[in-house]
Structure 1
Amino acid sequence: MSNPFVVEIKRLPGSDGLPLPQKMSELASGFDLHAAIEEPMTLAPGERALVSAGFALAMPAELEAQIRPRSGLAFKHGITALNSPGTIDADYRGEVKVLLINHGQEPFVIERGERIAQMVFQLVPQVNLTEVEELGATVRGAGGFGHTGTR
């Protein structure tokens, strides 16, 4: 196994006593994020809210962090991350927050310390865009939005 990337994490005020992001199993790809809120927060059906995760990051330029929904919250309650995956760029130093939405039928109460999302780190390749007059042809061509199937 190669050497891991070092990602610095800073606990922010209001997160005292809460766990920092953590993997819940040895081979999990995501770090669970906890709600760093002072009081319970109720999300009505269709309502969205930014929920503090209580920390900020500094990561190498080769990485991005993606904020993704937790499958259990989505399945059981219809709670998901609205801009999924949300991207945290390597040069961002602000507080990590999760944009949650309630797609369920009932109000959902978010409790302090509840696991609300997961954070997955991904490599970001260096890319140079080159403007050209024509693009190379493919069998698919410009077909999209259901072009390759009947549904």
Structure 2
Amino acid sequence: MYSDNLGPIAGTIDVDIRILHPVLEENQPGYSTQGSAGIDLRACMDADDVTIPPGGRHAFATGLAIDIRTPSMAGFVYSRSGLGTKEGLTVSQGVGVIDPDYRGEIIVSLLNTSDAPRTVRRGQRIAQLVFQPIHQARLRQVEALSETSRGSGGFGHTGKM
């Protein structure tokens, strides 16, 4: 698969999808362009629209459940850049994680960071689903951690410049 003269896509994975809402029968899940990193997720509600007040949140069903068939992969739900920048609607928890063993409907919680009410229309693209490799850590309890030049220096310890 190639993408608008950007070269080959690095790879593909197998993901089974289950459509749970009629909105997706009209708007099949997929990539908007050949070079898109994320699959568009849509607001699948029975009402025509939902208005989110300033500072408010709303959890939207996406009408989609997935089965990630490739080991060591997970789905990550990110904000759509245009929706966040232009409308102030962002994924409320920053990034949503769809674990590889989750089989339920993907839900996207949007936060209105603007100072005005924002309306989401039925079927509107509200977020994007990106698949990325994951690793589970083997946790070891130790008495001390290895030394570094930074040490335990925290937020802002290197200054502004």
Q: TM-score, normalised by structure 2?
A: 0.86
Number of paired residues? Answer: 151
Amino acid at match of 2:40: D
* 1:72-87 superposed matches below 5 A: 72-87=82-97
Would you say the 8 A contact 1:54–1:95 is kept in 2? Answer: yes
1:129 to partner: Cα distance: 1.3
Q: What do the CA deviations read for 1:58-87 (whole angstroms, capped 9, x no partner)?
A: 113411111111111111111111112110
1:140 to partner: Cα distance: 0.4
Task: Quickly say closer, same or farther: Cα 1:20–1:130, change in 2 above 3 A.
Answer: farther
Q: What SS class does the counterpart of residue 105 from structure 2 fall into? A: coil
**Structure 1 residue aligned with 2:135:** 125
**Structure 2 residue aligned with 1:43:** 52
Q: What do the CA deviations read for 1:2-42 (whole angstroms, capped 9, x no partner)?
A: 76221111001443534233222222211111111121111
Check if 1:56 corresponds to 2:65.
yes
Question: How far apart, CA to CA, are the structure 1 residues paired with 2:75 and 2:43?
Answer: 17
Identity among equivalent pairs (%): 38
Q: Which runs of 5+ in 2 are unaligned?
A: 1-7
**Structure 2 residue aligned with 1:112:** 122
Would you say the 8 A contact 1:20–1:33 is kept in 2? Answer: no
**Structure 1 residue aligned with 2:41:** 33
Q: Which runs of 5+ in 1 are unaligned?
A: none
Q: TM-score, normalised by structure 1?
A: 0.91
Computed over aligned residues only, the root mean square deviation of the Cα atoms, in angstroms, reads 1.8
